[in-house]
Structure 1
Protein backbone atom coordinates (compact mmCIF):
# COMPACT_ATOMS: atom_id res chain seq x y z
CA UNK A 1 0.00 0.00 0.00
CA UNK A 2 3.02 2.29 -0.08
CA UNK A 3 2.00 3.24 -3.62
CA UNK A 4 -1.35 4.46 -2.29
CA UNK A 5 0.39 6.62 0.32
CA UNK A 6 2.71 8.01 -2.36
CA UNK A 7 -0.24 8.87 -4.63
CA UNK A 8 -2.09 10.42 -1.68
CA UNK A 9 0.82 12.65 -0.66
CA UNK A 10 1.48 13.56 -4.30
CA UNK A 11 -2.10 14.78 -4.55
CA UNK A 12 -1.67 16.96 -1.47
CA UNK A 13 1.65 18.30 -2.79
CA UNK A 14 0.30 19.17 -6.25
CA UNK A 15 0.30 22.96 -6.46
CA UNK A 16 -0.71 23.05 -10.12
CA UNK A 17 -4.50 22.56 -10.46
CA UNK A 18 -4.16 20.46 -13.64
CA UNK A 19 -1.63 18.13 -12.04
CA UNK A 20 -3.80 17.83 -8.95
CA UNK A 21 -6.87 17.08 -11.10
CA UNK A 22 -4.97 14.34 -12.94
CA UNK A 23 -3.87 12.77 -9.64
CA UNK A 24 -7.41 12.90 -8.26
CA UNK A 25 -8.78 11.29 -11.44
CA UNK A 26 -6.11 8.57 -11.47
CA UNK A 27 -5.95 7.63 -7.80
CA UNK A 28 -9.26 8.59 -6.13
CA UNK A 29 -12.80 7.33 -6.68
CA UNK A 30 -15.12 10.05 -8.05
CA UNK A 31 -17.23 9.91 -4.88
CA UNK A 32 -14.33 9.67 -2.42
CA UNK A 33 -14.87 11.19 1.01
CA UNK A 34 -12.41 13.15 3.12
CA UNK A 35 -12.95 14.13 6.74
CA UNK A 36 -10.63 15.76 9.27
CA UNK A 37 -11.17 18.18 12.18
CA UNK A 38 -11.55 21.11 9.77
CA UNK A 39 -13.26 19.60 6.71
CA UNK A 40 -15.82 17.00 5.71
CA UNK A 41 -16.27 16.73 1.94
CA UNK A 42 -17.28 14.26 -0.72
CA UNK A 43 -16.18 14.03 -4.34
CA UNK A 44 -12.89 14.83 -6.00
CA UNK A 45 -13.89 18.42 -6.83
CA UNK A 46 -14.46 19.17 -3.15
CA UNK A 47 -11.31 17.32 -2.10
CA UNK A 48 -9.33 19.31 -4.67
CA UNK A 49 -10.73 22.52 -3.18
CA UNK A 50 -9.59 21.47 0.31
CA UNK A 51 -6.10 20.76 -1.03
CA UNK A 52 -6.08 24.17 -2.75
CA UNK A 53 -7.07 25.80 0.53
CA UNK A 54 -4.13 24.19 2.32
CA UNK A 55 -1.75 25.53 -0.34
CA UNK A 56 -3.22 29.00 0.10
CA UNK A 57 -2.89 28.82 3.89
CA UNK A 58 0.61 27.29 3.87
CA UNK A 59 2.37 28.48 0.69
CA UNK A 60 5.62 26.65 0.00
CA UNK A 61 4.90 23.90 2.55
CA UNK A 62 4.94 20.25 1.52
CA UNK A 63 3.58 17.02 2.91
CA UNK A 64 6.09 14.31 3.84
CA UNK A 65 5.72 10.82 5.22
CA UNK A 66 6.65 10.45 8.90
CA UNK A 67 7.58 6.87 9.77
CA UNK A 68 6.29 3.82 7.97
CA UNK A 69 2.74 3.14 6.78
CA UNK A 70 0.82 0.28 8.42
CA UNK A 71 -1.63 -1.54 6.16
CA UNK A 72 -3.95 -4.51 6.07
CA UNK A 73 -6.82 -5.53 3.85
CA UNK A 74 -8.07 -2.41 2.05
CA UNK A 75 -6.77 0.23 4.47
CA UNK A 76 -3.56 1.98 5.37
CA UNK A 77 -2.70 4.31 8.22
CA UNK A 78 0.28 6.64 8.26
CA UNK A 79 1.61 9.80 9.83
CA UNK A 80 2.54 12.82 7.75
CA UNK A 81 4.22 16.15 8.30
CA UNK A 82 3.46 19.53 6.73
CA UNK A 83 6.17 22.15 6.60
CA UNK A 84 8.90 23.85 4.60
CA UNK A 85 11.00 21.47 2.50
CA UNK A 86 13.97 20.06 4.34
CA UNK A 87 12.98 21.19 7.83
CA UNK A 88 11.11 19.78 10.81
CA UNK A 89 7.38 20.02 9.98
CA UNK A 90 5.42 22.18 12.41
CA UNK A 91 2.20 20.29 11.59
CA UNK A 92 1.92 16.52 12.09
CA UNK A 93 -1.13 14.47 11.23
CA UNK A 94 -2.33 10.91 10.99
CA UNK A 95 -4.58 9.57 8.22
CA UNK A 96 -6.42 6.33 7.58
CA UNK A 97 -7.12 5.68 3.90
CA UNK A 98 -9.34 2.95 2.50
CA UNK A 99 -9.28 1.86 -1.12
CA UNK A 100 -11.86 0.25 -3.36
CA UNK A 101 -11.47 -3.00 -5.32
CA UNK A 102 -9.48 -1.11 -8.00
CA UNK A 103 -7.09 0.23 -5.32
CA UNK A 104 -8.35 3.79 -5.70
CA UNK A 105 -8.71 6.00 -2.63
CA UNK A 106 -12.31 5.80 -1.43
CA UNK A 107 -12.26 7.27 2.09
CA UNK A 108 -9.89 9.30 4.21
CA UNK A 109 -10.19 9.90 7.94
CA UNK A 110 -7.65 12.49 9.05
CA UNK A 111 -6.45 13.51 12.48
CA UNK A 112 -4.18 16.33 13.61
CA UNK A 113 -1.51 15.29 16.11
CA UNK A 114 0.46 18.53 16.34
CA UNK A 115 -0.64 21.98 15.26
CA UNK A 116 1.18 25.19 16.24
CA UNK A 117 -0.79 27.66 18.33
Structure 2
Protein backbone atom coordinates (compact mmCIF):
# COMPACT_ATOMS: atom_id res chain seq x y z
CA UNK A 1 0.00 0.00 0.00
CA UNK A 2 2.95 2.37 0.39
CA UNK A 3 3.15 2.49 -3.40
CA UNK A 4 -0.43 3.75 -3.44
CA UNK A 5 0.44 6.58 -1.05
CA UNK A 6 3.58 7.46 -3.02
CA UNK A 7 1.61 7.66 -6.29
CA UNK A 8 -1.18 9.63 -4.59
CA UNK A 9 1.27 12.24 -3.25
CA UNK A 10 3.17 12.29 -6.56
CA UNK A 11 -0.12 13.26 -8.23
CA UNK A 12 -0.51 16.20 -5.83
CA UNK A 13 3.05 17.34 -6.61
CA UNK A 14 2.80 16.89 -10.39
CA UNK A 15 1.68 19.30 -13.09
CA UNK A 16 0.58 19.11 -16.72
CA UNK A 17 1.03 15.87 -18.65
CA UNK A 18 2.72 14.11 -15.74
CA UNK A 19 -0.32 14.72 -13.51
CA UNK A 20 -2.72 13.67 -16.27
CA UNK A 21 -0.80 10.40 -16.69
CA UNK A 22 -0.82 9.70 -12.94
CA UNK A 23 -4.56 10.40 -12.76
CA UNK A 24 -5.29 8.18 -15.75
CA UNK A 25 -3.17 5.30 -14.49
CA UNK A 26 -3.76 5.34 -10.72
CA UNK A 27 -7.12 7.06 -10.12
CA UNK A 28 -10.51 5.65 -11.07
CA UNK A 29 -12.52 7.79 -13.52
CA UNK A 30 -15.33 7.62 -10.91
CA UNK A 31 -13.11 8.94 -8.08
CA UNK A 32 -14.69 11.14 -5.41
CA UNK A 33 -12.73 13.48 -3.16
CA UNK A 34 -14.02 15.16 0.00
CA UNK A 35 -12.13 17.30 2.51
CA UNK A 36 -13.15 20.33 4.63
CA UNK A 37 -12.57 22.70 1.69
CA UNK A 38 -13.62 20.69 -1.38
CA UNK A 39 -16.00 18.05 -2.64
CA UNK A 40 -15.35 16.96 -6.23
CA UNK A 41 -15.47 13.93 -8.49
CA UNK A 42 -13.69 12.68 -11.59
CA UNK A 43 -10.22 13.42 -12.88
CA UNK A 44 -11.13 16.99 -13.88
CA UNK A 45 -12.46 17.75 -10.40
CA UNK A 46 -9.33 16.33 -8.75
CA UNK A 47 -7.07 18.28 -11.13
CA UNK A 48 -8.95 21.51 -10.34
CA UNK A 49 -8.45 21.03 -6.58
CA UNK A 50 -4.77 20.23 -7.07
CA UNK A 51 -4.34 23.34 -9.26
CA UNK A 52 -5.94 25.50 -6.56
CA UNK A 53 -3.68 24.06 -3.84
CA UNK A 54 -0.55 24.44 -5.98
CA UNK A 55 -1.48 28.07 -6.72
CA UNK A 56 -2.12 28.90 -3.07
CA UNK A 57 0.97 27.07 -1.80
CA UNK A 58 3.37 27.64 -4.71
CA UNK A 59 6.74 25.94 -4.31
CA UNK A 60 5.63 23.64 -1.49
CA UNK A 61 5.54 19.85 -1.79
CA UNK A 62 3.47 17.04 -0.32
CA UNK A 63 5.25 14.28 1.59
CA UNK A 64 4.21 11.36 3.77
CA UNK A 65 4.35 11.93 7.54
CA UNK A 66 4.80 8.68 9.46
CA UNK A 67 3.70 5.32 8.13
CA UNK A 68 0.54 4.29 6.33
CA UNK A 69 -1.92 1.81 7.81
CA UNK A 70 -3.90 -0.38 5.43
CA UNK A 71 -6.32 -3.27 5.25
CA UNK A 72 -8.53 -4.69 2.54
CA UNK A 73 -8.78 -1.97 -0.15
CA UNK A 74 -8.26 1.04 2.08
CA UNK A 75 -5.29 2.94 3.43
CA UNK A 76 -4.97 5.81 5.90
CA UNK A 77 -1.94 8.04 6.26
CA UNK A 78 -0.76 11.47 7.33
CA UNK A 79 0.78 13.89 4.86
CA UNK A 80 2.59 17.20 5.13
CA UNK A 81 2.78 20.18 2.81
CA UNK A 82 5.82 22.41 3.11
CA UNK A 83 9.23 23.29 1.72
CA UNK A 84 11.08 20.18 0.57
CA UNK A 85 12.98 18.62 3.47
CA UNK A 86 11.59 21.09 6.03
CA UNK A 87 8.87 21.01 8.67
CA UNK A 88 5.43 20.93 6.99
CA UNK A 89 3.28 24.06 7.22
CA UNK A 90 0.11 21.99 6.70
CA UNK A 91 -0.52 18.47 7.99
CA UNK A 92 -3.46 16.32 7.03
CA UNK A 93 -4.85 12.83 7.30
CA UNK A 94 -6.39 11.02 4.32
CA UNK A 95 -8.22 7.75 3.88
CA UNK A 96 -8.14 6.23 0.39
CA UNK A 97 -10.45 3.48 -0.82
CA UNK A 98 -9.28 1.59 -3.90
CA UNK A 99 -11.35 0.01 -6.65
CA UNK A 100 -10.98 -3.61 -7.76
CA UNK A 101 -8.11 -2.60 -10.09
CA UNK A 102 -6.17 -0.92 -7.24
CA UNK A 103 -6.93 2.64 -8.38
CA UNK A 104 -8.00 5.43 -6.02
CA UNK A 105 -11.81 5.41 -5.93
CA UNK A 106 -12.63 7.53 -2.89
CA UNK A 107 -10.65 10.02 -0.79
CA UNK A 108 -11.72 11.35 2.62
CA UNK A 109 -9.39 14.09 3.80
CA UNK A 110 -8.96 15.85 7.12
CA UNK A 111 -6.79 18.84 8.02
CA UNK A 112 -4.88 18.57 11.30
CA UNK A 113 -2.62 21.63 11.08
CA UNK A 114 -3.25 24.69 8.88
CA UNK A 115 -1.51 28.06 8.80
CA UNK A 116 -3.36 31.00 10.35
Q: TM-score range by the shorter chain?
A: over 0.9
- Structure 1 residue 116: Cα displacement: 1.3
- Runs of 4+ in structure 1 displaced over 2 angstroms? none
The answer for the alignment partner of 1:40 in structure 2 is 39
Q: Secondary structure at the match of 2:28?
A: strand
- Structure 1 residue 27: Cα displacement: 0.2
Alignment of 1:90-101 (within 5 A): 90-101=89-100
The answer for the alignment partner of 1:113 in structure 2 is 112
Count of residue pairs brought into register by the alignment: 116
CA distance in 2, matches of 1:17, 1:35: 23
CA distance in 1, matches of 2:68, 2:23: 21
The answer for the alignment partner of 2:12 in structure 1 is 12
Q: TM-score, normalised by structure 2?
A: 0.98
Can you give the 5+ residue segments of structure 1 that lack an aligned partner in the other structure?
A: none
Can you give the 5+ residue segments of structure 2 that lack an aligned partner in the other structure?
A: none
1:40-66 Cα deviation digits (max 9, x unpaired): 001011101100111100000000000
Matched, 1:65 2:64: yes
Q: TM-score, normalised by structure 1?
A: 0.97
Question: Aligned-pair RMSD on alpha carbons?
Answer: 0.5
CA distance in 1, matches of 2:114, 2:67: 21
The answer for the alignment partner of 1:3 in structure 2 is 3
